[in-house]
């Protein structure tokens, strides 16, 4: 049997474009006499469709699209993903389904059993879980169909409260009793740098456990804050990775089933990437798709001469092209000459348009207006925040006038502890590096400069500073970022308590201070722009904390 995998970039809700891409790949497969072509989860509508699923007309259009696709599947078997109507009288309205198309019709529907409702997932909100298991019998082979989470019964369970597994039953165990010859896995698993190897291991161990080859198709591209890396996998019956499709690009590959099950064919070199490289590529794709899928073309960035805005500018240029990125350099009396020079140098290195607008006159005007109100009170964060908000106003004015979308440049470390200004440096349509800790931002800067200096060395070597008062340094208010990020990672990604973090040797008073800052800053993050997700636990939909909680 000749099997093809189609790893595509879907646009949520654009059923016409998605259907067109699917049909083009079916026709391509037909030209190569492919027997079975597999697409990813929810390929008809894109993943995740969220509350679009509450509209009956949307689901009806999805099914009409699937039926239209089926009509060209005369001499080929095709598996696509789509929402379908739950025909039973009880339960949720819909199923998350895989549809097998052949002989010009929808031959069978296979529904997802395990519906994730953790982190960014909320599938049980919409779908009824399946309790039926059946195979596709096609051209002398029996094919088991598993949709994403149905493959993940044996995943590692963290913060398990004593549990061994995340779910109470394994769909694969049920399917394997039917003795399939292979598994077609339709998935939509978003990128997280630290999970690439773990995902591969889940699929590899499944193939090894059950002794059948797995063909896993992931989608690629960014939808909202989620980035899908592709990297679809073929694993043979011994649990050996036979091949992996490319990361962060669409791909189409064809395999002979007999070759996959022949272990002598193993040994294909995988396109593994460094985690910093992968994070960089993911963010480029995240920015690119955010603009393309929303119909935007141009971006504006506030260049401060600091590391965060520098890395964000490089990402924007890689995603959109240098002609579509402009920078505003907005110095005040506290901005060092070195920062201004480095911001100018970076803009020239990237060949982007830039404008320098000094904000001191506006700052003096604000101070003058507020002087009677603030009479007798010392200067504090209020005056610092005024400068950040002046810059935001200028950036947003530029955005409105010229149609450039403002990109936010705050990093995860600052967002975590509230070292940001509401309606100031937190402004923007998209938070590009809001899920990247400061230490990783520096690693990305070095990666950017690995062939030649793009980000000026002065930006890399200068002590981090918001430059909102005389001789200000981030270290005046925060511990060194290496120490800060270690504590933040344990608290945010690993869900460890203060007591557990202290046992790692961290200073107890510092741990208490940092955790308090994280908790008190939740109201700020609630008003942040969407954050491109590149970790296992990003701020936003995947981390839901009460604003008024006493922790």
H or E segment at 361?
helix 360-370
Q: Is 112 among the catalytic positions? A: yes
Q: Which of 41, 149, 229, 467 is catalytic?
A: 41
- How many angstroms separate the most distant Cα atoms in the chain? 87
Tell me which of 62, 73, 112, 537 is the catalytic residue: 112
CB 386 within 8 A of CB 363: yes
Task: Name the active-site residue from 45, 62, 73, 148.
Answer: 148
Strands 77-85 and 94-102: antiparallel
DSSP letters for 476-491? GTS--HHHHHHHHHHH
Other CB atoms within 10 Å distance of the CB of residue 361: 9
φ/ψ of residue 462, rounded to 5: -75, 140
User: DSSP assignment of 97-126, as one string?
Assistant: EEEEEETTEEEEEEE------STT--GGGT
User: Which one, of 251, 249, 318, lies nearest residue 283 by Cα?
Assistant: 318
Give the strand pairing for 241-244 and 251-256: unpaired
The length of the chain, given as a count of residues: 551
Residue 148 annotated to the active site: yes
Strands ordered across the beta sheet of 299-302: 353-356, 325-329, 299-302, 405-408, 430-431
Whole-number Å distance between alpha carbons of 175 and 132: 10
CB 66 within 8 A of CB 82: yes
Q: Which residues on neighbouring strands pair with residue 185, listed in sequence order? A: 146, 216
Angle between helix 438-448 and helix 307-320 axes, rounded to 10 deg? 50
41 is catalytic: yes
Catalytic machinery residues: 41, 112, 148
């Amino acid at each position: 049997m000749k099997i093809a995998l189609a790893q595509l970039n879907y646009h949520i809700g654009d059923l016409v474009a998605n259907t067109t891409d699917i049909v083009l790949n079916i026709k391509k497969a037909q030209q190569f006499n492919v027997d079975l072509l597999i697409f990813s989860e929810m390929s008809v509508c894109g993943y995740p469709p969220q509350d679009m699923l509450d509209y009956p007309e949307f689901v009806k259009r999805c099914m009409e699209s699937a039926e239209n696709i089926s009509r060209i599947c005369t001499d080929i078997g095709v598996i696509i993903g789509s929402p379908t109507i739950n025909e039973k009288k009880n339960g949720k309205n819909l199923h998350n389904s895989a549809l097998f198309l052949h002989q010009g019709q929808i031959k069978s529907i296979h529904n997802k059993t395990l519906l994730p409702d953790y982190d960014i997932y909320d599938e049980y909100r919409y779908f009824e879980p399946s309790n039926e298991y059946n195979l596709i019998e096609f051209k002398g082979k029996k094919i088991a169909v598993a949709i994403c989470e149905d493959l993940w019964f044996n995943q590692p369970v963290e913060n398990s409260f004593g549990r061994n597994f995340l779910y109470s039953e394994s769909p694969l165990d049920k399917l394997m009793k039917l003795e399939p010859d292979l598994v077609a896995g339709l998935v939509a698993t978003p990128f997280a740098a630290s999970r690439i190897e773990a995902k591969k291991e889940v699929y590899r161990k499944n193939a090894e456990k059950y002794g059948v080859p797995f063909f896993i198709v992931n989608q690629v591209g960014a939808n909202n804050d989620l980035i899908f890396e592709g990297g679809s996998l073929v694993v043979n019956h011994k649990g050996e990775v036979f091949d992996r499709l490319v990361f962060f690009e669409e791909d189409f590959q064809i395999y002979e089933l007999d070759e996959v099950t022949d272990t002598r064919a193993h040994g294909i070199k995988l396109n593994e990437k460094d985690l910093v490289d992968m994070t960089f590529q993911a963010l480029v794709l995240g920015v690119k798709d955010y603009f393309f899928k929303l119909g935007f073309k141009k971006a504006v960035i506030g260049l401060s001469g600091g590391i965060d805005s520098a890395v964000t500018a490089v990402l924007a240029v890689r995603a959109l092209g240098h002609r579509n990125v402009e920078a505003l350099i907005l110095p005040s009396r506290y901005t060092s000459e070195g920062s201004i020079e480095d911001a100018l140098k970076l803009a020239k290195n990237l060949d982007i348009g830039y404008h320098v607008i000094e904000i001191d006159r506006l700052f003096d005007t604000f101070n003058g207006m507020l002087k009677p109100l603030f009479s007798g009170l010392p200067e504090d964060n209020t005056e610092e925040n005024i400068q950040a908000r002046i810059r935001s106003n200028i950036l947003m004015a530029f955005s409105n006038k010229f149609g450039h979308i403002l990109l936010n440049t705050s990093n995860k470390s600052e967002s975590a502890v509230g070292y940001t200004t509401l309606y100031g440096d937190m402004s923007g349509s998209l938070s590009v590096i809001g899920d990247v800790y400061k230490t990783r931002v520096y690693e990305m800067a070095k990666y950017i400069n690995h062939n030649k200096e793009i980000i000026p060395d002065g930006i890399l070597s200068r002590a981090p500073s918001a430059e909102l008062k005389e001789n200000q340094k981030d270290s005046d208010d925060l511990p060194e970022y290496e120490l800060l990020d270690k504590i933040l990672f344990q608290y945010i990604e690993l869900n460890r308590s203060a007591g557990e973090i202290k046992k790692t040797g961290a200073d107890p008073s510092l741990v208490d201070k940092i955790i308090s800052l994280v908790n008190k800053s939740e109201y700020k993050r609630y008003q942040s722009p969407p954050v491109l997700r590149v970790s296992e636990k990003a701020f936003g939909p995947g981390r839901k904390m009460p604003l008024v909680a006493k922790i």
